[in-house]
Amino acid sequence: MGVENGFRLSFLTRNPQGGRVLDASSLNGTGASGAWPFPDKSFDGVVVPDASLASQGSSPKFLAEAARVLKSDGWLFVTVPNRWGYNHLVRANGMRHAVSRKKVRRALEQAGFSGVREYALHPDAENAGEVMGLGPRPFRGAINLREGIKERFFSSRIFSRFAPAHALTAVREPAEPSFIEALLREVSSEAKRRWHVTASPKVERAFVLHGKGVLQVRLGNRLLAVKFPIIRWAEGFMEHEEEILKALGKRFLLKEIKAPEFYWGGVLEGRRYAVLEGFPAVSVDQPTPVLRPVIAQATGYLIQFQKMTCERRTVDEALYQQLFAKPFQALYPALGERASGLKRIEDAVHKIVLGQRIPLVWEHGDFYYENFLVDPKTRRLAAIVDWEMSNEKGLPLLDLYYSAARAGELFYGKTFEDMIIGEFMPQQYSGPMKRDFDVYLNLLKIPAEVMPALCVMAWVCRLVRSGGVRHDPKWLAGFDQVLNAVKSILKGNA
């Protein structure tokens, strides 16, 4: 590309029509001219991480080049270290490379950008690529959609003390009307028709996660959770969750299983949205004393729920292909020569489970503490949310494995792979975790012979749901290590 002095720019295809985003990462200079090696109006968006901006000193020339390569309706996303955030204050020389936000704002205006907006970044969202979602760009004006959510959630003064960085967004032309505002108007109108609610909608909280946006909306005495996809693949998960919640509502009292009620869904500006029951609760993702009892409560509800939905079936070839073989088959194409090792594992699982009579249960599919909402007043479990990966006829124990492994990561620093290698069989647990597994196994009467196979399925399904095979040396080394451990778990069957 004619790149000089270590200057590295890459673009990612945004959609089949050719929309592109320029990721200015590890930026070390563009040579004496300062010119970028791209034609005018080449990109839909440009992302500029902290390091890039700091090394350039937020020079007008640098930002002018960003403006040049952007299309007429293009956007720019810039992150700036928060010099007063806790992670900079506690770090030696934490402010050494920080650039003032005012300086960046002035430079943006000098470069010809308009509509400059600012918000604080969540501590888990330091990576600009994660924040912007450098994947398929499904909607025109998607940058404005994300702004609308984050502006509402990250505007409080107290949050700025903890944010690792601030972000500024700018466009070459004035931003489009907000999708968020249009969505709130539509939800308010439907709520008025259904429940005769006349109060104006108020967004109390907002999130951007797993390819979707979630607004917690107060309408009079009602609290709603409004979901909508930000990237295309999330639409399929949302449709599946609608079906699951409707089915749950027909069979159970949702309060007894801590699931939210599905109210209605719709389509606005080509985007699907869903309106669910909201809860005055929060998700806790730090190892606080509150979280342990909440995990225990959620586990108790899961055990009773799966006991109610338990249906014993003999594993024939058709059932094996449906529940056991599919996750393996999803991994084989990307594994290359490693596929043969995993195939031997699948053959062992097939040998173990075929002909066994096992309980099938209603699987949550994403049973992690992040999906356990906590009532801040009572500090008790308020709801179990995100049923997008649920399976009405799923394998037993998998949800319990997911929860135990995720909690192990948080409280003890153990990865999912560590638990597979060292202590993933229930007999090796101790304390509350062992009690949960003992209760579960006694209630559902799972044959001891199939336990090793279910342990393996928890690992394989986890790989599939976390994005599949990654071709970096560290991931592959961990995969090989677990593969050898799994062979020992299966003993003579592998």
Every domain of the chain with CATH number 3.90.1200 lies at 282-493
Q: Is the pLDDT of residue 140 over 50?
A: no
Q: How far apart are CA 77 and CA 91, in angstroms?
A: 26
Q: What percent of the chain has pLDDT over 90?
A: 35
The CATH T-level fold of domain 179-277 is: Phosphorylase Kinase; domain 1 (3.30.200)
Q: Is the pLDDT of residue 1 over 50?
A: no
Mean pLDDT on 164-176: 68
Residue partners of 108: CB distance under 8 A and separation at least 6: 63, 76, 78, 116, 168, 170
Q: Please tell me whether residue 333 adopts helix, strand or coil conformation.
A: helix
Q: What is the four-CA torsion angle of 298, 303, 306, 308, rounded to 10 degrees?
A: -110
Q: Please tell me whether residue 272 adopts helix, strand or coil conformation.
A: strand
**pLDDT recorded at residue 388:** 92
More confident residue, 126 or 106: 106
Query: Judging by beta carbons within 10 Å of its beta carbon (0-12, 13-18, 19+), is residue 148 exposed, middle or buried?
Result: buried
Every domain of the chain with CATH number 3.30.200.20 lies at 179-277
**pLDDT recorded at residue 270:** 83
More confident residue, 287 or 427: 287
Residue partners of 471: CB distance under 8 A and separation at least 6: 334
Highest mean pLDDT: which range of 45-59, 274-288, 300-314, 422-436: 300-314
**pLDDT recorded at residue 28:** 45
**pLDDT recorded at residue 206:** 75
> Where would I find the beta strands (DSSP E) of 353-464?
357-363, 372-374, 381-384, 391-394
Mean pLDDT on 347-369: 95
Q: Is the pLDDT of residue 292 over 70?
A: yes
**pLDDT recorded at residue 111:** 83
Mean pLDDT of the chain: 78
What is the dotted CATH code of the domain comprising 10-171? 3.40.50
Q: Which CATH code of 3.30.450, 3.90.1200, 3.80.10, 3.30.2450 fits the domain covering 282-493? A: 3.90.1200
Q: What percent of the chain has pLDDT over 70?
A: 73
The pTM assigned to this predicted structure is: 0.70
Q: Is the pLDDT of residue 232 over 80?
A: no
Q: How far apart are CA 441 and CA 431, in angstroms?
A: 16
